[in-house]
């Protein structure tokens, strides 16, 4: 079988570039959809440039439910004449069905620490602005499925929870081209801190990717950074993929150790913007703004705290 080509599709959003990927199969697929404006502003011209048409896309493959990955899903589905399958893991499907789910996620996680009286209103406004429409997915995943993109091209689905409960990897079979969305965080994107709601699942998923999936080509949702601040690209070869996976594991181990000590000593509210996890930031030398949305610092801290309480 000939190799299936993959093209990154970039659309701008503030300080971020949002990345989607076009899988040039007989039934073409787009992995992740950016925000509401991304399909028209980013994908249409990028596809035209390679001689493809957005209305021919037959698969919309969502790696997880975060706003900057599902925001454009409805708009893209409309541009395909509603003919594309819209695919997401069942554990993240609420984020596609409902803008309110994004607000609830904020309130129950990072929002508990941010002490921002306007926080909920800001997330509500963001969800209204960048989610193109609420919709029911046409296909719900559990992990373990194989999707047929025509002409013998298949994509297998692997559940890799941690960053979110419903994070999945899509793998083009036979060439180990792997799309993971935000499930491989390294040092995190703009905020410089890795974000995951479940640290134990995040670790297990990284090990699974490293040892079982062994990507030949790894496609990331954002250009994550190395320790020295220089970003990886979003398309990694086999060596870079191994480095990013091992780096993500090493970084999680360091964060986990710092959080464990902090929790054992007992959480204390202070004036620090990292409160009540100021000792974690200090120990790790983390000086980023913990309030900068999507606030991965507090998302991950809350994940450890929840896990610690379940096991003590
Ligand atoms: Zn994400």
**DSSP run (H or E) holding 139:** strand 139-141
66 Cα: distance to centroid of ligand 1 (angstroms): 5
141 Cα: distance to centroid of ligand 1 (angstroms): 18
296 Cα: distance to centroid of ligand 1 (angstroms): 9
2 Cα: distance to centroid of ligand 1 (angstroms): 32
d(CA 189, CA 224): 5
d(CA 157, CA 172): 9
Distance of CA 158 to the CA centre of its chain: 14
Average pLDDT, the chain: 94
64 Cα: distance to centroid of ligand 1 (angstroms): 7
> How far from 19 is each of 72, 122, 143, 160, 292, CA to CA, in Å?
12, 24, 23, 19, 20
Greatest alpha-carbon span in the chain: 60
Q: Are 186 and 60 in contact (CB under 8 A)?
A: no
67 Cα: distance to centroid of ligand 1 (angstroms): 8
Q: pLDDT tens digits, residue range 222-267? A: 887 777 777 778 999 999 999 999 999 999 999 999 999 999 999 9
Question: Could you read off the pLDDT tens digit of each residue along the chain, which spans 312 residues?
Answer: 578 999 999 987 777 779 999 999 999 999 999 999 999 999 999 999 999 999 999 999 999 999 999 999 999 999 999 999 999 999 999 999 999 999 999 999 999 999 899 999 999 999 999 999 999 999 999 999 999 999 999 999 999 999 999 999 999 999 999 999 999 999 887 778 999 999 999 999 999 999 999 999 999 998 877 777 777 789 999 999 999 999 999 999 999 999 999 999 999 999 999 999 999 999 999 999 999 888 999 999 999 999 887 765
271 Cα: distance to centroid of ligand 1 (angstroms): 29
Burial pattern 205-215, b for ≥16 Cβ within 10 A else e, equals: bbeebbeebeb
151 Cα: distance to centroid of ligand 1 (angstroms): 32
d(CA 288, CA 297): 9
Q: pLDDT tens digits, residue range 271-288? A: 999 999 999 999 999 999
163 Cα: distance to centroid of ligand 1 (angstroms): 7
164 Cα: distance to centroid of ligand 1 (angstroms): 7
d(CA 242, CA 213): 11
Cβ < 5 A residues, ion ligand 1:
66, 182
d(CA 186, CA 283): 18
223 Cα: distance to centroid of ligand 1 (angstroms): 12
Place of tokens 């204390």: 268
């Amino acid at each position: 079988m000939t190799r299936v080509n993959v093209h990154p599709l970039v659309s701008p959003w503030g300080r971020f570039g949002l990345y989607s990927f076009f899988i040039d199969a007989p039934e073409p697929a787009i992995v992740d959809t950016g925000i509401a404006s991304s399909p028209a502003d980013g994908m249409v011209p990028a596809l035209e440039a390679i001689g493809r048409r957005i209305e021919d896309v037959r698969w919309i493959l969502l790696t997880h439910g975060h706003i900057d990955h599902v925001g454009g899903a409805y708009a893209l589905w409309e541009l395909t004449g509603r003919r594309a399958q819209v695919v997401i893991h069942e554990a993240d499907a609420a984020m596609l069905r409902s803008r309110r789910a994004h607000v609830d996620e904020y309130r129950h996680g990072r929002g508990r620490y941010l002490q921002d009286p306007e926080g909920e209103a800001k997330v509500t406004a963001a969800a209204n602005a960048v989610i193109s429409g609420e919709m029911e997915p046409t296909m719900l995943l559990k992990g373990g499925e194989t999707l047929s993109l025509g002409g013998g091209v298949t994509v297998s689905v692997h559940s890799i929870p941690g960053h979110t409960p419903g994070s999945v990897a899509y793998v083009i079979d036979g060439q180990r081209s792997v799309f993971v969305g935000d499930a491989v965080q390294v040092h995190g994107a703009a905020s410089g801190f890795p974000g995951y709601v479940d640290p134990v699942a995040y670790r297990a998923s990284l090990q699974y990717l490293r040892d079982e999936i062994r990507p030949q080509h790894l496609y990331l949702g954002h250009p994550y950074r190395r320790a020295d601040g220089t970003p990886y690209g979003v398309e990694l070869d086999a060596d870079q993929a191994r480095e990013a996976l091992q780096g993500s594991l090493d970084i999680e181990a360091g964060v986990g150790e710092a959080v464990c000590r902090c929790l054992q000593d007992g959480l204390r509210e202070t004036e620090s913007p990292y409160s009540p996890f100021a000792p974690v930031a200090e120990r790790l030398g983390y000086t980023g703004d913990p309030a900068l949305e999507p606030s991965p610092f507090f998302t991950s801290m809350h994940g450890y705290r929840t896990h610690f309480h379940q096991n003590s």
